[in-house]
Structure 1
Amino acid sequence: MKVICQTVLSAMALLVLVSNEERSVSAAAVSRAKREEKYTTRYDNFDVAGVLASKRLVRVYLNCLLETGPCTPEGRELKKYIPDAIATECIKCSPLQRKQAGIVLSHILLNYRDDFNKLSQKYDPEGKARKMYNIDQDGDDDYQDLEEA
């Protein structure tokens, strides 16, 4: 009887090890697949500089993202991807999309601080991205608000 119990326990231990190994492999495969998955490149030729040069167009996109106004097709697409891009540190972004996102966010941060704060509250309420990129919340550049959060 003792030999049978030891055999059963050994078999169960082996099953748990194999099961955990499969889970690790599956998690790694899913993680790799997510890294390989990319956002659409349909709007990669979008004139970001042209939009940022127009206060009216910037306002249209900000209103869309803040859900205080209608959205263009590009705005709807952008709004759909923002939460995932923040959560995954833009892992699905192409190099061009990362560059454009940086340009847009810098422009909004510098020229539309209140709207930037509203966007941050809406799409990153825990402030993970703000902390990761050392973005001062109140614009006084003392960064104390990062330490408090």
Structure 2
Amino acid sequence: MFVKTLFASAVFAVVVSVVISAELYTNKYDNIDLDEILKNERLYQKYFDCLRGKGKCTPDGQNLKDVIPDALQTECGKCSEVQKKGVEKVLRFMLTQKPEDYQILEDIFDKDAVYRKKYEEQKKLAVEGKPITY
């Protein structure tokens, strides 16, 4: 009986650790300098082209491209605090400095306009320079 309980506890611990680790996106790219990318037109354009399917993606660009649909669906529910701050920074930049690019990505990642109304308040806050709430 003790062995069964120990085994069940071990299996439960493994399952819990897998679920917990799957709850957040990888933090592998959290140290990327977003300001460097946003301030450098050449770098910015490479990422933008990757996201819109018009250019080659770096591994971090491909990861971002892969994660965007899930992040939209889950309201960034798997984002760490660092990632949420990064999303806010990029969102604010694109809405205020590159609105045409934002529209292009919105058309790509929200073809059916499912998320446009859902995130309208966050867009408004970003443009106004106020903190975005999730």
What is the TM-score when the length of structure 1 is the normalising length? 0.64
Q: 2:116 aligns with which of 130, 133, 142?
A: 130
Using the TM superposition, name which of 36-45 and 96-105 deviates more.
36-45
Instruction: State the alpha-carbon separation in 1 of the partners of residues 89 and 104 from structure 2.
Output: 18
Aligned position for 1:27: none
Q: 1:111 aligns with which of 94, 97, 108?
A: 97
Structure 1 position 62 matched with structure 2 position 48: yes
Cα distance, 1:119 vs structure 2: 0.5
Structure 1 position 85 matched with structure 2 position 85: no
Give unpaired runs (5+ residues) of structure 2. Answer: 1-18, 128-134
Q: How does 1:1-149 map to 2 (within 5 A)?
A: 33=19, 37-134=23-120, 135=123
Higher Rg: 1
AA aligned to 2:48 is L
Q: Give the count of matched residue pairs.
A: 105
Give unpaired runs (5+ residues) of structure 1. Answer: 1-32, 140-149
1:26-52 CA distance string (max 9 Å, x none): xxxxxxx58x61100001111011111
AA aligned to 2:46 is V
1:21-78 CA distance string (max 9 Å, x none): xxxxxxxxxxxx58x6110000111101111111111111000000011111110110
* CA shift in 2, pair 1:128/1:106, >3 Å: farther
AA aligned to 2:97 is N
AA aligned to 1:124 is D
Identity %: 39
What is the TM-score when the length of structure 2 is the normalising length? 0.71
Instruction: State the alpha-carbon separation in 2 of the partners of residues 84 and 133 from structure 1.
Output: 14
Residue 132 of structure 1: SS of its match in structure 2? coil
Cα distance, 1:122 vs structure 2: 0.8
- Ranked by relative contact order (alpha carbons within 8 Å, sequence separation 6 or more), the top structure is 2
> RMSD of the TM alignment (CA)?
2.2
Instruction: State the alpha-carbon separation in 2 of the partners of residues 68 and 84 from structure 1.
Output: 21
